[in-house]
Structure 1
Amino acid sequence: MLRFTSRDALYRDLDEMMKLRQKCKHFRILIIGRANAGKTTILQKICNTNEEASIQDAKGNMIPMSTITPSNMRGMHDIEKSLVFPSNQGFVFHDSRGIEAGGKQELDIVQNFIAKRAKSHNLEDRIHVIWYCIPVDNDRIFTAAEKSFFDSLSRHGAPVIAIFTKFDHRDIESFMSLQEEGLEDTEAKAKAPNHAKEVFEKEFLPEIYNLSYPPQRHVYLRDMQEPDSSVSELAERTAEVLENGVLRLMFVSTQRSSITLCIKYAIEQSLCGFHTTW
């Protein structure tokens, strides 16, 4: 939370934030993940929309959907291209195809992209946060290439949040395990989500957090195919890792997945004035 020592300091900081906000009109997110990781759903949920994203080239020019054919769809996942939802143009997304097993070339492309963006003098052109989506509906949670990413990512880039998708599959496994231990169905169902989380954090999470550059936060997403599923926790964790106050306020005001988050940060900003020495 910001704290001010005088009325003049308060106005100076607010004025500076407004100037930066005018220079940085878009919040830029790089989302990485395998083809079945549920990336599109996450982006739609954070924007609270069911529409398809528009595609822009590296210069920000819109690519007409009429020009896209099945033969060049793979090229639409070029990390240099960006995705923008017409109803929420405050977000600009970059989608990597995912660093598949043995995908050193793709890893190099992602790392070079992050490094290049980090060097930009324009705040709006930088990657502000990275969402790395990892589906957990199989026994092999992390591929070798994914581990390489977290073992070589430089901190001069952007904060990273690991998103463990399809976690409802882990809930089912825990439910069956608790049944085998003798619990009744109702009790096993109630305890399954926490049990799944405890098992995952004990058996799998250390694999990624023991690497050189672990994610700053992680979240579990369940039942994303359901209309009422939410990414509010992802929004909260994202706001937490943003050290730049302008970027944090921009993200909070742009995301449409959590009204509670908007209220929380609006209250915090209001309370800043009460810590001012008038």
Structure 2
Amino acid sequence: MSEITLVPLHISSIIIRLDDSSNKKVDFAELKFDSQRQEIRRNFEQDKDLSANFDPAIAVTTERASLSVHCQYRAVGMIPRKTIVKFSLYTKDILSKTVDHDGQREYRTTEGKITVIISLSQLQSTSSDVLQICPRFRLLVIGKTGVGKSTLIKQAFGIKGVYVEKHKRGEADIDKEFISPENERFVLHDSQGFEASDNSRLNIAKDFIDRRRKMSKLQDQIHAIWLCLSIPHADGRLLESGVEKFLNLRKEILGDIPIIVAFTKFDEFVDKLELDAMESDEYDETALEALKIDTLNKLCIQPLKEAAGTDILHTVVSTKEDYESTIRQLIDLTTTNVEKYVTSEAALTMMIAQRVDIGLKVKASIAIGKKRYWRGIGSSMNFTGFTMLDCLSVIHKDIIDVWNFVDSRHLASDQFKALMLKDLDNADLPHTGEAFDFGLSVVSKITAILASLAGPLAPIVVSVAAGVVLIKWVYDTYQRTNIVLQRIMTYIVDLTCVMQILFLLASTGPISPRVIKIAVKAYEEAGKSTVHSEIQSHVSVTRSGGDDALEEIVRLINDHSIKAEDVQALRAKIKLPVGLQVDEEW
């Protein structure tokens, strides 16, 4: 992942205003930044000011920009002469000297009798910047009908249905984009397998990949390919001749596009070996594990390497309940190689799109935070001139965007923000008094909360102010103080922990106020006090203007992380009642 992104200066308008006593007349102006040039000309001759509005706002990412104002100087009895007044615009100065004017953030600077007024747009979320470059992870899945593509996609991306096999034999349209309304962060292309007697499918796939590779925008390119192959029986063949040809030519066809071979229906392979072992009266656990490895190597891995080379990526996959770890392995292998060979933005979008690995969600939250707003929190130029609500809201958006829940409108609501702001300054909260494992502690609290309800549809009661307006300090301007540092650090860790609990409760379902309140209440009773007290201790000991605050945030998140391999077992311990997704009053 890229280490840091400078916060762009988002300019929404520029006004160039002459003093009434000036003998100059402004003809036009030039704004130069990032090797770009923006010309500003008069809309109407009679306009006194020279102005321009920018929609979308201009993003200036360099430390310095320049504005050249081209004028005519007129003195009585003299021929008009041209002159240029230059303004050096430093991002640091603009951010530190902006003021609120009628709800608009403005920066003013004057040279002689010319005043320049620059209006700035609101804080831009890092997640939005990433998703603007790569709004969807674009995946090509190749495999014969019946190999298990549909079920694999449904589980990996947490959707109810995908139509990769709803076409007649031989009629798959590889150019068709499959986008699920339940998860808009990935787009799927489907290619049927390459049969020995038909080269047309292989040629169609080659042409499609070639066209996509030549597209200039990352969002239009193929980011990864999954080649799905069923594990054959003992006397079966793994690769059709068409697939062998594709693999032989993969580096020429694909370039740097990662391809992962997924050996599907691994559960059937394991069941068959275990059944044969039990029937032979020679059942031995250690010997059986060795047999699985040897047989898989003989049937799949060796034939694959002979056709594609030893560096071909591969993994086994099963969509059965007890084999969720195999899907996580496929997702992790894909993400790692997309980051290595494509771009970090595509890898982040894959982490956002997938809904099976809680660890990758936490990793993506940290990666996006490190790009911008989590760095140098205590002395940040990013937040200068903004209110605390502005600062926390952009951090809030970055985090909830990563978790990519179905129907997440409630997570963006003022009511949810009010829940997260409650007790933000308070470290005097109840402690669990038990050996700490965040996942187990959370599950025990959820179980207790649900057991205490009068009925399955009884409302969850969480005390919360009517709205964030009641918390006065959120409307204060950001200041470089310890209490501000403490609040931002606490908000980041609290929200990340609540997102993990929501992943346990409703990773693929709508997020209702009822689910949110259960998650918030469980966190309050499971780990909130520890987080708050440790942050307060950290801030009181050291003035964390640098990245020591970032290191502490990451440490606390890691200490309060639910392990991906534990998610399935933890979910099994929670007996979720009916009506969990039903909306109720906050």
TM-score over 0.5 (shorter chain): yes
Question: 2:138 matched to which residue of 1?
Answer: 28
Task: Please point out which of 331, 337, 343 is paired with 1:241.
Answer: 337
Query: Which structure has the greater CA radius of gyration?
Result: 2
Partner of 2:350: 251
How far 1:48 sits from its partner (Å)? 1.1
Show CA shifts across 1:113-166 (max 9, x none): 111100001111111000000011432111111111100122425110000001
Q: Matched residues in 2 for 1:39 and 1:135: separation? A: 10
User: Which moves more between the two structures, 114-123 or 257-266?
Assistant: 257-266
Which residue pairs with 1:58 in the alignment?
Answer: none
Contact 2:137 2:350 in 1 (8 A): yes
The verdict on how the C-alpha distance between 1:123 and 1:175 changes in structure 2, with shifts beyond 3 A counting, is same
Tell me how far apart the structure 2 counterparts of residues 99 and 18 of structure 1 sit (CA, whole Å).
39
CA 1:114/1:52 → structure 2, altered by over 3 Å: closer, same or farther?
Answer: closer
Partner of 1:197: 293
Residue 209 of structure 1 corresponds to 305
Give the letter for the 1:198 counterpart.
D
Q: Partner residue of 1:64?
A: none
* Cα separation, partners in 2 of 1:95 and 1:214, compared to 1, 3 Å: farther
Contact residue 216 and residue 241 of structure 1 kept, 8 A: no
* Residues in 1 aligned to 2:135 and 2:311: alpha-carbon distance in whole angstroms: 26
Matched residue, 2:219 = 124
Secondary structure at 2:161 match in 1: coil
Distance 2:292 2:262 in 1: 15
Contact 2:352 2:364 in 1 (8 A): no
* Contact residue 159 and residue 215 of structure 1 kept, 8 A: no
Q: CA deviation at 1:258?
A: 1.1
Amino acid of the residue matched to residue 196 of structure 1? Answer: K
Q: How does 1:65-84 map to 2 (within 5 A)?
A: 73=168, 77-84=172-179
Aligned-residue offset at 1:172: 3.0
Partner in structure 1 of residue 150 of structure 2: 40
**What is the rounded CA distance, in whole Å, between the counterparts of 1:157 and 1:108 in structure 2?**
19
Call closer, same or farther: CA 1:15–1:257 in 2, change over 3 Å: closer
Q: Name the structure 1 match of 2:237.
A: 140
Helix, strand or coil at the partner of 2:138: strand
**TM-score (normalised: structure 2):** 0.39
Following the alignment from structure 2 to structure 1, what is the Cα–Cα distance between the partners of residues 369 and 133?
Answer: 23
C-alpha change, 1:102 and 1:54, in structure 2 (3 Å) is closer
Unaligned runs of 5+ residues in structure 2 are 10-60, 63-123, 376-546, 551-586
Instruction: Choose 153-162 or 250-259, whichever is displaced more.
Output: 153-162
| Paired AA for residue 241 in structure 1 | N
Give the equivalent residue in structure 1 for 2:273.
174
Shift in Å, 1:270: 5.8
Residue 451 of structure 2 aligns with which residue? none
Q: Please identify, of 131-140 and 151-160, the stretch whose mean Cα deviation from structure 2 is larger.
A: 151-160
2:77 is matched with none
2:175 and 2:256 map into 1 onto residues whose CA distance is 16
Higher helix content, 1 or 2: 1
User: Structure 1 residues 97 and 8, CA, compared in 2 at 3 Å: closer, same or farther?
Assistant: closer
Give distance in 2, aligned partners of 1:180 and 1:73. Answer: 41
Q: How many residues align?
A: 254
Q: Do the aligned partners of residues 194 and 118 (structure 1) sit closer, same or farther apart at CA in structure 2, a change above 3 Å counting? A: farther
CA contact (8 A) 2:238 2:299 kept: no
Question: 1:229-265: per-residue Cα shift (whole Å, max 9, x none)?
Answer: 5221111111111121111111001111111222234
Compute the RMSD of aligned alpha carbons.
3.5
Worse-superposed segment, 238-247 or 263-272: 263-272
8 Å contact kept, 1:39–1:133: yes
**Distance verdict in 2 for CA 1:161–1:114, change over 3 Å:** same
DSSP 3-state at the match of 2:222: coil
Q: Which has the higher contact order (CA 8 A, sep 6+)?
A: 1
1:92-123 C-alpha deviation (Å, 9 max, x unpaired)? 00001221233311111111111110000111
Shift of 1:77: 2.0
Does the 8 Å CA contact 1:127/1:157 hold for their aligned counterparts?
no
2:515 maps to: none
Please identify which structure carries the higher strand content.
2
Partner of 1:88: 183
Q: Distance in 1 between matches of 2:184 and 2:137?
A: 9
- Could you tell me how far apart the structure 2 residues matched to 1:234 and 1:198 are? 21
